[in-house]
Amino acid sequence: MVIDLGDASAVPETPPSPGTTRRRPTALGLAVLAVLALAGSAPAEPPRLRSILVTDDLAGAFTLAPSALFTSSFVGRQAQVRRYSLADRSVQWTTALPQSVGDLELTDAGVLTVVSPEYTQVSFLDSDTGTLLWRRTSGATTVLRVIGDSVLMTSTHARSEHAVLERTSLRTGQPLWSRRLDAFGYLDVDDAGGILTVDQQGRAAVLDAADGAVRATADLGFAWDPQRYVGDGGTVRFETYGDRLYVTRRERGVGSVTAYRLTDLRPLWRSPAKIFGQPTECGASLCVSTVSGMTVLDAGTGEPRWISTGWRSGRDSVALGIPGPPRLLVIGVGRIPRRALLDPATGRVRSMLGLSEQVGALLLRLDTAEPGRTWIQEVGPADEVRTIGRLDGMSLERCLAVAAYLACANRNGPANVWQLTRDS
């Protein structure tokens, strides 16, 4: 079945007014705001955004927590990282670092990772005090995942054909185990803590994150060149979702999709659909997208369910934290990439979301009639769109949403934090 959704540009972009608007389906609910529904039988007043913090420095990288904002900046030719309290706007600590800052990430273990733009230096700070716990300064380092009180990292050196995968104590930097891998191979960590590797000869292995031991191996039956771009000859893409490895491959112009079970790398199915594209997790389905559309496969069998020539890059609404029944959040194929929510079984459009970005559980929707205006919205389980408020004059190039807070920073400006609140 092929679904042609026509021109989405005819859908109006501007909400009629802040408040609650009923539309045919949309779903990007803000879970933390469920308390608003508990106000009794009286009609609830529409929520609003209240500015609570504007940093006094030009924010480089930043990250948001339920009680604090962490920022990086460059002062006096030295990088510094700060923690701002969301309760009283105070600077709780400032730590100077002998490295540039490209990314900040707060772990559940209360450790802030600070990565340089070129990935050659990584610092680990105590998020409560700003104390520097330890640093890694040798070789390009990638932080893969934090597991409890430890971190999985890879490091490589120039002109080396091997990378070192290691599990290290998060607070001390003490190595727990390490293993050499193909520096140009595929590497990912699944939700159960299994580590998948595939070298350039197509030899796959699953490692145990606890000790690095090999749990399963398989020969996928082909060699691949990770430096070949998608538009060239034979290409391969690997993606891990849940307990599956999906391999999309194109050979002599013919595409294929194969699923493997991650626990033992046993092949589960090879789809009869001759497609090659970018796979994404779509709940009970697998979406495979190209620049011109999307093919939706049954994740259990690989059988094609439907094809869209109007949408691509499907994502599962449940996995995104959207309340209500499963839906697919997609991007339009046209010149202006509008978003929508689709019925996963049929591809029918349930709601048009316009020219927007999803940030956490919030929807940031650009107003095409008023340049510089952005509507902050959420979508409920019944696909109702609620307008929380609007922001004027903000470019909103970088935004994060956590709990009842939204933080954004312009390219060369301070970071701003707003709190979702109600009129008194």
Residue 409 located in a structural domain = yes
Domain count of the fold of the chain? 1
Residue 216 located in a structural domain = no
> Which of 12-16, 187-191, 265-269, 326-330 is the least confident region?
12-16
Q: Whose CA is closest to 32, among 406, 411, 424, 404?
A: 404
Residue 252 located in a structural domain = no
> Is 344 in a helix, a strand, or coil?
coil
Instruction: Please give the mean pLDDT across all residues of the chain.
Output: 84
- Would you place residue 47 in the very low, low, confident or very high pLDDT band (cuts 50, 70, 90)? low
Q: What is the mean pLDDT of residues 7-25?
A: 37
Position with higher pLDDT, 373 vs 46 = 373
pLDDT at 406 over 60: yes
pTM beyond 0.85, yes or no: no
Q: What is the mean pLDDT of residues 264-282?
A: 93
- Would you place residue 5 in the very low, low, confident or very high pLDDT band (cuts 50, 70, 90)? very low
pLDDT score of 37: 34
Residue 76 located in a structural domain = yes
> Which of 26-35, 42-51, 167-176, 245-254 is the least confident region?
26-35
- Say which residues have a Cβ less than 8 Å from residue 333's Cβ, sequence separation at least 6: 291, 292, 293, 309, 310, 311, 312
Give 409: exposed, middle or buried? Use CB within 10 Å, 0-12, 13-18, 19+: buried
Residue 396 located in a structural domain = yes
Q: What is the mean pLDDT of residues 214-226?
A: 90
- Would you place residue 44 in the very low, low, confident or very high pLDDT band (cuts 50, 70, 90)? very low
Task: Give me the residue label for tokens 């607070």.
Answer: 171
Dist CA 421 CA 359 (whole Å): 18
pLDDT at 3 over 60: no
Residue 249 located in a structural domain = no
Q: Whose CA is closest to 296, among 317, 273, 318?
A: 273
CATH code of the domain containing 10: 2.40.128.630
Residue 207 located in a structural domain = no
Dist CA 314 CA 45 (whole Å): 34
> For residue range 335-382, what is the model confidence (pLDDT) as tens digits?
888 999 999 999 999 999 999 988 888 899 999 899 889 999 988 888
Full domain range(s) for residue 378? 2-184+277-422
> For residue range 301-345, what is the model confidence (pLDDT) as tens digits?
999 999 999 999 999 988 887 778 999 999 999 888 899 999 999
- Residue 116 backbone dihedrals phi, psi, to 5 degrees: -75, 155
Residue 406 located in a structural domain = yes
Dist CA 102 CA 169 (whole Å): 22
- Say which residues have a Cβ less than 8 Å from residue 98's Cβ, sequence separation at least 6: 78, 79
DSSP code, position 43: P
Position with higher pLDDT, 254 vs 203 = 203
Position with higher pLDDT, 321 vs 72 = 72
Give 218: exposed, middle or buried? Use CB within 10 Å, 0-12, 13-18, 19+: middle
Total count of residues recorded for the chain: 424
Give 325: exposed, middle or buried? Use CB within 10 Å, 0-12, 13-18, 19+: middle
159-186 per-residue burial string, b: 16 or more CB within 10 A, e: under 16: eeeebbbbbbebbeeeeebebebbbebb
C-alpha pair distances (Å), 212 with each of 147, 152, 157, 204 = 13, 11, 21, 14
